[in-house]
Structure 1
Amino acid sequence: MNDRMVWIDCEMTGLSLTDDALIEVAALVTDSELNVLGEGVDIVIRPPDAALETMPEVVRQMHTASGLLDELAGGTTLAEAEEQVLAYVREHVKEPGKAPLCGNSVGTDRGFLARDMRDLESYLHYRIVDVSSVKELARRWFPRAYFNSPDKNGNHRALADIRDSITELRYYREAVFVPQPGPDSDRAKEIAARLVTPATS
């Protein structure tokens, strides 16, 4: 049984597959216990000038605040970024089509990967593990766990966002994937405090 999980997060100039560009991609591979394997990769991609010119102001402000916008001029190409991510994934996932793509609202990321990094996207299983879906179910069925989930510190940078997603799934595994009625609020807070990711500068 292949227990590997491939976590990928992308930062873009917007959400349109027609007009917007990938500007950062990061990946971590975990085993089924959510232990991270290796160092992972985090790569800034230089986008076409046209994508920068049409970037929505709210997105521009977000990427300015995170520091990503200042790094774009020194970014690499899409092809080189894909090569680096795929090399890391292949190091830990030996067979194509076995490991699911994981993350938060990862359907959007998959769309950009399918458009710009087809070899990487096709190396992954067609299934996804979307932590946002777990969160939406927890909000409805285990609201105490949902409202006590760990704070996020990713600041819209790809690798930090992945680490937040893994931490979030670790939390829900302990707080929700348990016999009914689930944890009380104190137990949920204790789990969140133990798993919280330190803030990044």
Structure 2
Amino acid sequence: MADSAGHLVWIDCEMTGLDLTRDKLIEVAVLVTDSELNVLDPGLDLVISAEEADLAGMVEVVTEMHAKSGLTEAVRASTLTLAEAEQQVLAYVRRFVPERRTAPLCGNSIGTDRGFLARDMPELDDHLHYRMIDVSSVKELARRWFPRVYFAQPQKGLAHRALADIVESVRELAYYRKTLFVEAPGPSTAQAQAAATRVADSFAGLFAAEDAGAPGPAASGV
């Protein structure tokens, strides 16, 4: 096996809703990339069985979305349990990342997915690093700092199926890497240190005000 240092684990979930107190995890997909965003395997996509009452309780927009994508009928046809799905995903991840808590979880708005993984697949959640790479955060920065990049991003298919969503997330981050980040090998050590000094100096007044007990921008409502 190739060195797994730097590998990224990409997961996307489909649920009956976003409420962790009542909604169900009904699809999970995973793939792994190296640090350069090269996809190492086509990925794994699992549809999990659910009670008819869980499907009937979905709000209208979710009902329509899952019906259009074919997920609702796939859930009805599935006999896969949550426990079985967790072990399959965990085994898949361990093929590429055998070391516990070394690879971050990646995706779009991944905090939502992580909540359901922590609730329903705790062993898988424990294998992943606590840090996450959220492509949505990069998107929001692009929208504010480089709007041309934001508006030119590759269009999403909006399939609302887990594996397709993952591939789109990897592609989106690859696009941002080409357009937002400096070309490899990046700045020299001296350039990076100079930038760090400039940024630190620009924030020095805020830290000084805090040390003096004066309200900073956050405290004053700015």
> Does TM, scored on the shorter chain, surpass 0.5?
yes
- The higher radius of gyration belongs to 2
Equivalent-residue separation in structure 2 for 1:39 and 1:172 (angstroms): 22
Whether contact under 8 Å (1:21, 1:48) holds in the other structure is no
Equivalent-residue separation in structure 2 for 1:154 and 1:165 (angstroms): 11
Identity value in percent: 64
**Over 4 Å off, 4+ runs:** none
Secondary structure at the counterpart of residue 99 of structure 1: coil
- Supply the RMSD in Å over aligned alpha carbons: 1.2
The CA deviation string for residues 108-160 of structure 1, in whole angstroms up to 9 with x for no partner, is 00000000000001100000000000000000011110010000124100000
Equivalent-residue separation in structure 1 for 2:165 and 2:36 (angstroms): 19
Deviation at 1:53, TM superposition (A): 2.2
Deviation at 1:49, TM superposition (A): 3.0
Whether contact under 8 Å (2:11, 2:28) holds in the other structure is yes
Equivalent-residue separation in structure 2 for 1:110 and 1:7 (angstroms): 11
* Structure 1 residue runs without a partner (length 5+): 180-201
The counterpart of 1:50, out of the listed 43, 53, 62, is 53
Paired amino acid for 1:129: I
State the partner residue of 1:192. Answer: none
Whether contact under 8 Å (1:154, 1:164) holds in the other structure is no
2:37 is the alignment partner of 1:34 = yes
Paired amino acid for 2:77: G
State the partner residue of 1:163. Answer: 167
Equivalent-residue separation in structure 1 for 2:107 and 2:148 (angstroms): 22
* Structure 2 residue runs without a partner (length 5+): 184-222
Equivalent-residue separation in structure 2 for 1:155 and 1:40 (angstroms): 17
Deviation at 1:39, TM superposition (A): 2.7
The CA deviation string for residues 51-100 of structure 1, in whole angstroms up to 9 with x for no partner, is 21211111000000111111112221101111111111000001010000
State the partner residue of 1:143. Answer: 147
Equivalent-residue separation in structure 1 for 2:169 and 2:97 (angstroms): 20
Equivalent-residue separation in structure 2 for 1:138 and 1:39 (angstroms): 28
Secondary structure at the counterpart of residue 9 of structure 2: strand
State the partner residue of 1:60. Answer: 63
State the partner residue of 2:24. Answer: 21
Equivalent-residue separation in structure 2 for 1:9 and 1:174 (angstroms): 23
Mapping of 1:113-152 within 5 angstroms?
113-152=117-156
State the partner residue of 2:11. Answer: 8
State the partner residue of 2:207. Answer: none
State the partner residue of 2:95. Answer: 91
Secondary structure at the counterpart of residue 23 of structure 1: strand
Distance 1:96 1:132, change over 3 A: same
Distance 1:154 1:93, change over 3 A: farther
Equivalent-residue separation in structure 2 for 1:164 and 1:153 (angstroms): 8
